[in-house]
Structure 1
Amino acid sequence: MKNTILIIPLVCLLTACVHDKQSAGEPSSEPLRTLAEQFKQPADCYKPYVWWHWMGSNFSKEGITKDLEAMKEAGIGGATIFNLASAVQETHAPTENNPWPEQTFRSEAYWEALRFAASEAKRLGLKLGLQSTPGYSTSGGPWITEERGMQQVVSSRTSLSGNRLVETVLEKPELPVYKGWGSTQQRASYYRDVAVMAVPEKADVKTYEILDLSDAMDTTGLLRWQAPAGRWTVYRIGHAPTMSNPHPLPDDLIGHALEADKMSKEQMTYHWRSVLEPLKEHLKEYIGDSFTHLLIDSYEAGDQDWTPDFRKDFIRLKGYDPLPWIALRNSAGERNDVKQFTEDYKEVVSRLYIDNGWKIAREMINEAGLKFYWEPYFGPFDSFESVAIPDIPMGEFWTGGKGAIWNTIPKAARIYGKRIVGAEAFTGRPEISQYTEDPAFLKHTADGSFASGANLLFLHHWVHQPFDDRYQPGMGMGWWGTHFGRHQTWIKPGKAFFTYLARCQMLLQQGVFISTDERMLHRKTSDADLYFIINPSDSVETRTFAFAMQKRIPELWLPDKGIICQAADWRESADSIFVNLKLNADESVFLIFPDKKENGYTAMIQPAIKVCGESSREVAGPWPISFAPKLGEPFQREFAVLSDFSEDEDTTIRYFAGTATYRKTIPVDANTVGKQKRILLDLGEMNDIAELTVNGREADVLWYPPYLADITPWIKAGENEIEIAVTNNWANRLIGDEQYPADFEWGQDRGEKLGRAMKAYPEWFLQNQPRPSNGRKTFSIWYYHRKDSPLQKAGLVGPVRIIEQDVEME
């Protein structure tokens, strides 16, 4: 092959979804022909999921239907329901003036809503699951008492002199305090003695010198002991609940739920029965159908170092009694032999977490007909080994970084044969996620997660919107998360981004992993080698990639467009194939080497194109624009020249959030239309996402730069009607609202960088009355902006150009 400039054709044949063989997240490895046939629109099993946060009692059937229908339309495959507090970020939850006080966790209204959600998901072909515990961490609930909760070693110490009969009451150890969100501190009441140990007060004490005085203390704590000569420290050792609780709990559960003992098979069995039995009772016809999985988020339950059988289990696993060493550690600190005991102790804790906790979870969840999804890290257990347990192990990445999930998860998944690696995706802090997010911003972290080994994203978040559509952007998860819900301004054109994720996931779930570096991941199937290649930089890069193979013809599969085309610039040596790729900033491609030349989809492959000549012309104004605000009445304007909305003197435009449709008639000469001609539309600067229509036909969605579309298939000689529907984000409208007085009471204020809460639903909202503040249009639970917050660039800035090319097909 001779060298050519790599120009990607931007048209493709339509293919159909051909199957949905298995439950979500577990598609079988497909032949290349099948993948090519559904590359334009992947099957449902490859689509991303969302975390669907139900905030306290704020849920409604109307909102459930609208949310799920919007997910389906947007290209989402399913959702995991989380039951959280109504005001995650408030100091004193719950949110006041609750409109649905009867809709408490596990009330009849709750079960009816959950059944309704499962039935609606079935109607729409979506899959649902549930975060296993109320809150987002970890495994507990109101059915867990202090006795059944996580336990820790507690002790008191008494120093005394010997060579006499000692009669003294050993003080009961101080008990832990409940660390609940938004609740008063509540000290534990449950306590059980484990042992009384006497340690000589001298240097270099040995464990055989430590005496067990457990039989010398009665139930009141009175110790009667004929103490040998010398000074002694006597430890009264017991265990008490850590008081760790799931969080952030639905309002009615705050202060009334604890984390289950994760080292006790008895208590974890009890916990999972308490989770699963009611689900089987209320959702029995949907389990394994539209209701498919339970999920455990990353571990946030804190440390646990005791369970009633711990001493017996430690002796079984390590061959010696831990109690003298516990006493010695309290006295001697971290000397070398104590350090070794500490390591042994950690290993036993990990073993009991895994064997008595997480394996029990998997077994019981699967027996109930559900899959187990889990983020197995941040806890006092071996994360690498734990990856083997769930049906789908998961990592996480936060918005704004490189996107890579913790490498232990994909590495262990490969060792244990887990082909699907999930990821909690785009979790965001308030400094970054302020209703300013758009697909162009999110692509960088998404690609980083794929390159690191994730291949099934669970988007964080899609908060349930239970209210009338007048109240937008509506409910949020406090200040957390990227805002993907149905009230997001760009959710409709955003389907192009979600479909991009699905195409990547479809290919990255195939075959087996071979290797990776920071810019390229290699997987191999029965009939092809697949390479996912990214350019994570902010500039165009041209690189030569070498592949140790022969007699293979490379293809470029473009996941942002759903196009398959011949690689344009490559050569073959005696033992390698070299491919030159020119990638735009944050561009990603799949380079695929079929094992055979004929794979049954030759007709779908677009030829490589060589550009022989090119000219361009700017599309001048005026520009008629139809404004469709996300909230408010549509209106028309005409711009003499393109400009940034945020700089407009008219506040209706300066604070606009929604879709602005630009219309233009573009003449095209007959001699520029033909087989060897190509016409491109370059939008220049655009904010944030554009739907392009040419002569009444949907041509493209441009969602990350450069905003360049091949419009050749839709262009005709003569006059051509172009529509560019540009949607920006919520930020400017939210800032515009801050120019007017608040018609509600402010709650917690975290400062200008983090934002502030709505403390309570105002009476005019609860009574369905007109707003007192006519200027305010938005309604939100968390406000990130102030009146002087910087506005975001908005609209089509251009310059818009028509590019006409003379081309040759390779």
Structure 2
Amino acid sequence: MKKGNLRFAVCGMVMLLNILFNLVARSQTRPDPEYFFRNPPESAKPGILWMWMGSNVSKAGITKDLEALKKEGFSLAMLASLADINTPWNGTIAGSPTPEIVAWTEPWWKLVEFAMSEAKRLNIKIALYNCPGYTSSGGPWIKPEQSMQEVCWSTRQIEGNGRLSIRLDKPVVDPHANMRFPSYDPVTGKLENLLIEARKSYYKDISVLAMPATGTVAKDSIIDLSAKMDTDGNLDWHAPPGKWMIYRFGHTTTGAVIQPAQPRATGLECDKMDPEAVSFQTDHMLSEIKKHVGKYVGNTLTGIFYDSYEIDPVTWTPKMREVFSKYTGYDIVPYLATFAGRTIGSREDSIKFRYDFERVTEALFRDVYFKTVAAKLKAAGLDYFSEAYGGPWRLDEITPQVSDPMCEFWTDDGKFTSYMTESVIAAIRKTGKNVIMAEAFTGQPVSSKWDEYPAWLKPVGDKAFCEGINRFVIHRFTHQPWDSKYLPGASMGQWGTHFDRTQTWWKAAKATVTYWQRCSALLQMGIPVKSDSDLVVLEEPEGLKIDYAHRKAENTDIFFIANTAHTSGYAYCRFQVSGRQPELWNPVTGEIRDLPNFEDNGTHTQIALNFEDAESYFVVFRKKYERSGGLAGSNFKVLKPLQALTGNWQVRFDPAWGGPKEPIVFEGLQDWTKSADKKIKYFSGTAVYNISFDVPESEISHELYVDLGEVKHIAHVYLNKKDLGVVWTAPWGVTIPKALIKTKGNVLTVEVTNVWANRLIGDEQDPDDCEWSPNGYFYNSGKFLKAFPDWFLNNQPRPSKGRYGFTTWNYFSKDAPLIPSGLIGPVRLMNGG
């Protein structure tokens, strides 16, 4: 054999052996929960709903947004283009510096292409909303004949017994859109159901029917006169004796438009039951994507998102007669008069028809809308994200067609509030999908007005984890197009949790995002297992509220256990696990340790677990435990007070946001809002606390702990210039490494950040330098910017010198209650044993 051939053969053999080795190794490799807990995969990193508000978009802002998301620990951005303001309907701010940016037009696409390039650089995946607004599918390109349709009719009562030559009027409908929500009309300047010209001009006949004028109508008494009417509505008929009602049935557009989009991007909803209309809408969307950002499809642009379906029921589609007959076996035409309030056949017959009509509608949404979209997105190499609930369909029939179905939960009054969450999760699990995504922390304006913070959000998210959700998509992250001196900046209006990079606590909240990553990583392991006997709370102190999620990954049982109440105490928990060592995995700190004190009776394991305010952690069973019973020892450290850190605290506020120019000395810790100094009372942002203290030499060898007491609302702690981490939830403290403590001259530094609300309320004490429009919504939670002020557009100093904040939605009056803020304490040095 020649040397070249021999070398080739040897190389081939080595390659084959490597392939075989990798296949064997891969087959023997099992997912390691601890590895994923310490190194959460991309699927465990949360996403955000990235709201681009109207024409207020900039390249600089896009870069800052995406870089901030990457640094914070997010991996997915779902890009939506809404109106300037969401009230929740569309609102307009006059005088935009970039009015040419309109969703789904060339200037907008150039910015989307730039966003894709930046997302690719940062390895952030993008999902694009399928059209302007967030509900539902359509745009200015949808013609009336492609839009959602409704049955309409005109009537003519006649006295029979002879030949009639009469003219039947076309049905006339209210020219305003027949839809659930109003929209901003740029012509009238009003918030109302839009005047849709096609409601006056577009009409198609279905049938002309004559029936007895009153009472229940026997089917055999209905006379179809469709063939006797010409195109101008002239009817020639020899009418039998009696009083007859003649109905001219037809259909027109409902006029329903997508919401809440910019006025110039607003257009009709496509007909979800017409395959041609759905195909046109989807093809139009995909062709625009291919034209402008095609090179990013499948790598950076990974999916299309269909958000909430918020449209009233529809009653027609052009092929309804034939498909209704196909699905039910009988003709729909004799029953058209039920839409006009008539009873056909009998009451039972009419009820059955309406039931059949709903089933046909469900089938059309399943077989036309969802099936068409799913097939076209799959062919394009794009994932199909959808909040597939709330519409005229069955969840169990729709969910299997969606590659990435999502559910949704809200933060009403600081409590988890679901929207069909349980049924959606059940439908998703039936498909065998493991990752259950959710639009997360959607906030009502009464609960989220620049006063939310991570510890407030925590029990809401923990409850969602217990429900079965294992990946969050935060509602919302608003694009910030302007200079950083304009804070808090753009808002989605009054809606959603303000989880924006302009939040006061944004940087510190990376610790919260890491917590969600760790939780999601473990809750994506194995399969969900939950029954009444998996975990039983034998004794629960008053006020505690324990919930859990259980996952099983081969021989490992993973329990996420959460106290979703703002109370502390012990709970005695019995796990249906035996023969394995319980471990506590803390997703806040990343700590993993054995729980030494437990009882194992051969069937169950019982453990006393301590919970602080809204505390949660995992109890994991993975290692065999050979002995019966349990071990002595404490599962939780008992901290003993060593000394209170009293005396003078030096506190430095940021003067750029209204704080005092020089450091302030607090002789005792206090709530900022109680200060007589308005620079402190109304301050929002980060204040830096410093205090020096000594430690008895006898305590140096012990593990020490700093208990911060009450913190409003998040803290970053340093000791002797060494970073001890962020404290954002109970227990409000940090452990001090033994090597760091000194007997003399220790310096504790605590950076404390509160919420935006106080600064914005403080601004209201001074004359206004902006004009505002009324809310127009029943929550009455503020007002939105009417027009961009000249000083903003011209980059000039503000006329009102006492104002610091700038945002597009104003929740507050000058008398609004302030939010307790600062390091309130007491701060104590504790002995951890």
Q: Is the TM-score greater than 0.5? A: yes
Conserved? CA contact 1:90–1:747, under 8 Å: no
2:73 corresponds to 1:75: yes
- 1:713 and 1:246 mapped to 2: Cα distance? 61
- Residue among 492, 502, 511 paired with 1:487: 502
Hey, what does 1:98 align to over in structure 2? 96
Q: Which moved more, 1:102-111 or 1:152-161?
A: 102-111
2:720 corresponds to 1:695: yes
Q: Which amino acid aligns with 1:699?
A: L
Hey, what does 1:205 align to over in structure 2? 217
Conserved? CA contact 2:658–2:683, under 8 Å: no
Hey, what does 2:444 align to over in structure 1? 429
- Residue among 750, 774, 778 paired with 1:724: 750
Conserved? CA contact 1:471–1:778, under 8 Å: yes
Hey, what does 1:381 align to over in structure 2? 393
**Aligned partner of residue 230 in structure 2, secondary structure:** coil
- Residue among 780, 788, 800 paired with 1:761: 788
Number of positions where the alignment pairs a residue of Structure 1 with one of Structure 2: 767
Deviation (angstroms), 1:608: 6.6
Hey, what does 1:507 align to over in structure 2? 522
Hey, what does 1:324 align to over in structure 2? 334
Conserved? CA contact 2:90–2:259, under 8 Å: no
Conserved? CA contact 1:489–1:630, under 8 Å: no
Hey, what does 1:523 align to over in structure 2? 551
Conserved? CA contact 1:433–1:481, under 8 Å: yes
- 2:59 and 2:215 mapped to 1: Cα distance? 69
Hey, what does 2:269 align to over in structure 1? 259
- Residue among 698, 720, 723 paired with 1:671: 698
- 1:505 and 1:566 mapped to 2: Cα distance? 22
Hey, what does 1:337 align to over in structure 2? 349
Q: Deviations over 1:619-661 (max 9, x none)?
A: 1120011223673676411111110111111111111111111
CA-based RMSD of the aligned residues comes to 2.3
Deviation (angstroms), 1:804: 0.9
Q: Which moved more, 1:748-757 or 1:240-249?
A: 748-757
Deviation (angstroms), 1:328: 4.7
- 2:672 and 2:739 mapped to 1: Cα distance? 29
For residues 40-51 of structure 1, the aligned pairs below 5 Å read: 40-51=38-49
User: Aligned pair in 2 of structure 1 residues 351, 466: CA closer, same or farther (>3 Å)?
Assistant: same
- 1:90 and 1:42 mapped to 2: Cα distance? 35
Q: Deviations over 1:692-750 (max 9, x none)?
A: 11222221211123312222356324233221110001011001100111112122256
Where is the helix percentage greater, Structure 1 or Structure 2? 2
User: Aligned pair in 2 of structure 1 residues 215, 689: CA closer, same or farther (>3 Å)?
Assistant: same
Hey, what does 1:85 align to over in structure 2? 83
- 2:88 and 2:138 mapped to 1: Cα distance? 22
**Aligned partner of residue 686 in structure 1, secondary structure:** strand
Hey, what does 1:182 align to over in structure 2? 184
Q: Which amino acid aligns with 1:332?
A: T
Conserved? CA contact 1:404–1:445, under 8 Å: no
Deviation (angstroms), 1:384: 3.1
Q: Which amino acid aligns with 1:471?
A: Y
- Residue among 573, 593, 597 paired with 1:545: 573
2:286 corresponds to 1:276: yes
- 2:215 and 2:315 mapped to 1: Cα distance? 27
Hey, what does 1:602 align to over in structure 2? none
Conserved? CA contact 2:564–2:614, under 8 Å: yes
User: Aligned pair in 2 of structure 1 residues 127, 100: CA closer, same or farther (>3 Å)?
Assistant: same
- 1:749 and 1:283 mapped to 2: Cα distance? 37
Q: Which moved more, 1:514-523 or 1:187-196?
A: 514-523
Conserved? CA contact 1:682–1:803, under 8 Å: yes
2:708 corresponds to 1:683: yes
User: Aligned pair in 2 of structure 1 residues 614, 32: CA closer, same or farther (>3 Å)?
Assistant: farther
- 1:623 and 1:683 mapped to 2: Cα distance? 14
Conserved? CA contact 1:699–1:714, under 8 Å: no
User: Aligned pair in 2 of structure 1 residues 125, 90: CA closer, same or farther (>3 Å)?
Assistant: closer
Conserved? CA contact 1:630–1:659, under 8 Å: no
TM-score norm. by structure 2 comes to 0.88
Hey, what does 1:744 align to over in structure 2? 770
- 1:582 and 1:321 mapped to 2: Cα distance? 66
Q: Deviations over 1:312-331 (max 9, x none)?
A: 11111110001111225632
**Aligned partner of residue 119 in structure 2, secondary structure:** helix
Deviation (angstroms), 1:145: 1.1
- 2:329 and 2:706 mapped to 1: Cα distance? 74
Q: Deviations over 1:114-173 (max 9, x none)?
A: 111111111112111111110010111111111110111111222222221122112211
Conserved? CA contact 2:700–2:738, under 8 Å: no
Hey, what does 1:125 align to over in structure 2? 123
Conserved? CA contact 1:167–1:223, under 8 Å: yes
- 1:246 and 1:479 mapped to 2: Cα distance? 19
Q: Deviations over 1:482-503 (max 9, x none)?
A: 1111110000001111111111
- Residue among 235, 244, 268 paired with 2:256: 244
- 1:91 and 1:449 mapped to 2: Cα distance? 27
- Residue among 665, 668, 689 paired with 1:638: 665
Hey, what does 2:313 align to over in structure 1? 303
User: Aligned pair in 2 of structure 1 residues 459, 29: CA closer, same or farther (>3 Å)?
Assistant: farther
User: Aligned pair in 2 of structure 1 residues 611, 502: CA closer, same or farther (>3 Å)?
Assistant: closer
Conserved? CA contact 1:199–1:328, under 8 Å: no
- 1:727 and 1:666 mapped to 2: Cα distance? 23
Q: Which amino acid aligns with 2:292?
A: H
Q: Which amino acid aligns with 2:169?
A: E
Q: Which amino acid aligns with 1:716?
A: I
- 2:103 and 2:636 mapped to 1: Cα distance? 63
Q: Structure 1 vs Structure 2: percent identity of aligned residues?
A: 37
- 1:29 and 1:161 mapped to 2: Cα distance? 84
Conserved? CA contact 1:40–1:563, under 8 Å: no
User: Aligned pair in 2 of structure 1 residues 663, 131: CA closer, same or farther (>3 Å)?
Assistant: same
2:756 corresponds to 1:706: no
- 2:806 and 2:565 mapped to 1: Cα distance? 37
- 1:313 and 1:597 mapped to 2: Cα distance? 64
2:760 corresponds to 1:734: yes
User: Aligned pair in 2 of structure 1 residues 225, 498: CA closer, same or farther (>3 Å)?
Assistant: same
Q: Which amino acid aligns with 1:422?
A: M
Hey, what does 2:299 align to over in structure 1? 289
Deviation (angstroms), 1:786: 0.7
- 1:453 and 1:712 mapped to 2: Cα distance? 37
Q: Deviations over 1:327-368 (max 9, x none)?
A: 256322882221111111000001101110011111111211
Deviation (angstroms), 1:611: 4.9
Q: Which moved more, 1:723-732 or 1:503-512?
A: 503-512
**Aligned partner of residue 219 in structure 1, secondary structure:** coil
Q: Deviations over 1:655-714 (max 9, x none)?
A: 11111111122322333233xx32111111110000111222221211123312222356
2:322 corresponds to 1:312: yes
- Residue among 448, 455, 458 paired with 1:443: 458
User: Aligned pair in 2 of structure 1 residues 562, 645: CA closer, same or farther (>3 Å)?
Assistant: same
Deviation (angstroms), 1:479: 0.9
2:813 corresponds to 1:786: yes
For residues 24-173 of structure 1, the aligned pairs below 5 Å read: 34-89=32-87, 93-173=91-171
Unaligned ranges ≥5, structure 1: 1-27, 599-606
- 1:612 and 1:559 mapped to 2: Cα distance? 20
**Aligned partner of residue 703 in structure 2, secondary structure:** strand
- 1:320 and 1:383 mapped to 2: Cα distance? 26
Deviation (angstroms), 1:109: 2.1
- 2:172 and 2:159 mapped to 1: Cα distance? 24
**Aligned partner of residue 278 in structure 2, secondary structure:** helix
Deviation (angstroms), 1:460: 0.9
Deviation (angstroms), 1:92: 8.4
Q: Which amino acid aligns with 1:678?
A: E
Q: Which moved more, 1:221-230 or 1:198-207?
A: 198-207
Deviation (angstroms), 1:462: 0.7
Q: Deviations over 1:526-549 (max 9, x none)?
A: 241211111122212422222233
- 1:413 and 1:60 mapped to 2: Cα distance? 38
TM-score norm. by structure 1 comes to 0.91
Conserved? CA contact 1:611–1:805, under 8 Å: yes
